[in-house]
Structure 1
Amino acid sequence: MMAPTGPRTALIAFSALAAAAVFAAPAAATSYHNSISVQPYAHITPEGTITLSGTYVCDDPSPAGAVQLMAVVVQDSVRLGANADEEPVCDGAVHEWQSHAKLAWTPDLHAGDAGVEARLQRVNRAGGIMPKSVDTLAEDVHGAEVVDHR
């Protein structure tokens, strides 16, 4: 059997190096005790604020970053996001959350079908105000109904 030569040798060598790099890379620590849910409905208040709610569990009080909860409603070409009203408490217990966002810049949100998203994220800082990275700890994305109380 002949040994590979030329471009085949280069391809084999490159493949071996790539495999070695993948298997030699350190594995990221992951916690599987984080979860989040968002209710299948959102409410628009008479004052023009949309409210999303749900529950979460997290046990990742990493000193390397702050944990935050983001909620988003998507309808037609409109996407409106908001932080939760309170900072998540990562103690392993189930907690309820709510997020509110004013419709001043997105007045086209209306009653009817929409999508909702909720993410529990860890924001890692490198010093200063800009985040070094954002890791998603848990997420929930599905269809929902917007109920308009205006």
Structure 2
Amino acid sequence: MALAALSALAATAVFTAPAEATVFDQGISVQPYGHISQDGKVTLSGTYHCSNPSPMGAKLQIAAAVLQDGTRLGFGGGEADCDGEEHAWQATGSLKHTPGVRPGPALAEVQLNEIHFSGLMPRSIDTVAEDRQEIELIDHG
């Protein structure tokens, strides 16, 4: 029984270990407008920069979301290339299961997330840069 308790404690420690601190110059921004395509997809874009690679085993990824009238549509924007240069990013999400998003004012949220792994499983996710702003969704249908 003591061995089972120790194993449970060790497993908990793996998932609650403090994340490594990030001291790198990192930032992300979102354009003041997004697009809704004829085939029912929302696209946001902007720029990001990260000056140094992440700690060993960590990856930087972009996450985006649109909030409008109580509806939230979240989607990924891919992995970041941390070479010290400013890069453009673009992320597209489907309205198939979130039909409440339409042309007009909305809130956009974008994050540059540092994902730390323990083996193949994510151990922790730290937001190292973010931007939130009111945007206009434009219909391109």
TM class, shorter-length: 0.7 to 0.9
Q: Any idea what SS the aligned residue of 2:35 has?
A: strand
Q: Any idea what SS the aligned residue of 1:135 has?
A: strand
Aligned counterpart, 1:146? 137
The answer to whether structure 1 residue 68 and structure 2 residue 61 are counterparts is yes
- Residue in structure 2 matching 1:120, options 104, 109, 112: 112
- Residue in structure 2 matching 1:132, options 123, 129, 134: 123
In structure 1, list runs of 5 or more residues that go unmatched: 1-25
Scaled by the length of structure 2, the TM-score of the pair is 0.81
Which structure has greater strand proportion?
2
In structure 2, list runs of 5 or more residues that go unmatched: 1-17
1:141 Cα deviation after fit: 0.5
Q: Partners of 1:127 and 1:59 in 2: how far apart?
A: 25
Residue pair 2:34, 2:43 contacting (<8 A) in 1 also: yes
Scaled by the length of structure 1, the TM-score of the pair is 0.76
1:32 Cα deviation after fit: 4.5
RMSD (Å) for aligned C-alpha atoms: 1.6
The answer to whether structure 1 residue 82 and structure 2 residue 82 are counterparts is no
1:33 Cα deviation after fit: 0.8
1:123 Cα deviation after fit: 0.4
Q: Partners of 1:60 and 1:69 in 2: how far apart?
A: 16
Aligned counterpart, 1:35? 27
1:128 Cα deviation after fit: 2.9
Q: How many pairs align?
A: 122
